[in-house]
Amino acid sequence: MAIDQEKIQEHIKGILEALGDDPNREGLIETPARVARMYAEVFEGMNYTNHEIAQMFNKTFELKKFEAGTSDFEKLVMVKDIDIFSYCEHHMALMYDMKVCVAYLPKDRVIGLSKIARIADMASKRLQLQERIGSDIAEIMEEVTGSEDIMVVIEGCHGCMSSRGIKKTAATTRTITASGKFKTDDSLKNMVISAL
């Protein structure tokens, strides 16, 4: 599915009119086109399924025996403080100041570290729920790495809470998606949480 920028421009012009403004005035005349280009960029992930994102970033490397630890603690790979943003599917409000932590226990292969950040970025570039971003990242990571032992922690602020409605500007939301050993082994889960 490709993002239809022409249709977005038409609708943004209509929204400007519905707001009581003149879309042909100097400050707004190029706004529909600018918004359409921005939407194509910030919603890029909507063009792809989780499987397609996994195929895009499916670059793994063999984990040799001398590189792999013997305990889950020694095998743990964790990338934290991955900056992302997204848009809430309920109000199309910005979800911002979001940090993602992705942890997994490799099997025979490891994924390139930059690919973890790219997966998080692409999964967030959709109309989303924070909870679904975590499960999408975990699903993609599982497909790429072959590991069922994955944990994704996301913390962020939601424009739908800070700029409208309840207007709580300091409120943050933390979500945790855990599978495999991270779901059953509290010490492993706590190891990740304590590192945040």
- Mean pLDDT, residues 127-155 taken together: 97
Which pLDDT does position 7 carry in this prediction?
97
Residue 67 — very low, low, confident or very high, per pLDDT cuts 50/70/90?
low
Question: Helices 31-42 & 5-18, crossing angle to 10 degrees?
Answer: 130
Q: Provide the pLDDT for residue 108.
A: 85
pLDDT at 166 over 70: yes
Taking the C-alpha atoms of residue 7 and residue 3, their distance in angstroms, rounded to an integer, is: 9
Q: Are 73 and 46 in contact (CB under 8 A)?
A: no
**In contact, 154 and 99? CB cutoff 8 Å:** yes
What's the chain's length in residues? 196
Q: What's the mean pLDDT when you consider all of the chain?
A: 95
Q: What is the DSSP letter of 126?
A: S
pLDDT given for residue 21 in this prediction: 98
Query: Is the predicted pLDDT of residue 126 greater than 90, yes or no?
Result: yes
Q: Tell me the per-residue pLDDT of 19-53, one tens digit each, with 9 for 90 and over.
A: 999 999 999 999 999 999 999 999 999 999 999 99
High-pLDDT (> 70) share of the chain, %: 97
Taking the alpha carbons of 74, 180, 128, 131 in that order, is the dihedral positive or negative? negative
What is the pLDDT at residue 66?
57
| Residue type, position 118, single letter | R
pLDDT at 188: 95
Residues 87-101 have a mean pLDDT of 97
Q: Are 161 and 171 in contact (CB under 8 A)?
A: yes
Higher pLDDT, 34 or 71: 34
- Can you tell me whether residue 114 is helix, strand or coil? helix
Q: Is the pLDDT of residue 65 over 70?
A: no
Query: Strand pairing partners for 156?
Result: 173
Q: What's the pLDDT at 39? A: 98
Q: Do 177 and 120 contact (CB within 8 A), yes or no?
A: no
170 phi/psi in degrees, rounded to 5: -95, -5
d(CA 77, CA 189): 13
**Is residue 155 within a helix (H) or strand (E), and if so which, with residue range?**
strand 150-158
Strand partners, 84: 98
Q: For residue 71, what pLDDT is reported?
A: 77
pLDDT of 1 higher than 90: no
What pTM does this model have? 0.94
69 band by pLDDT with thresholds 50, 70 and 90:
low
Q: Which letter, b or e, does each residue of 31-60 get, where b requires 16 or more Cβ atoms within 10 Å of its Cβ?
A: bbeebbeebbebbebeebebeebbeebeeb
Instruction: Collect all residues with Cβ–Cβ distance below 8 Å to 8 and sequence separation of at least 6.
Output: 32, 35, 36, 39
pLDDT of 74 reads 83
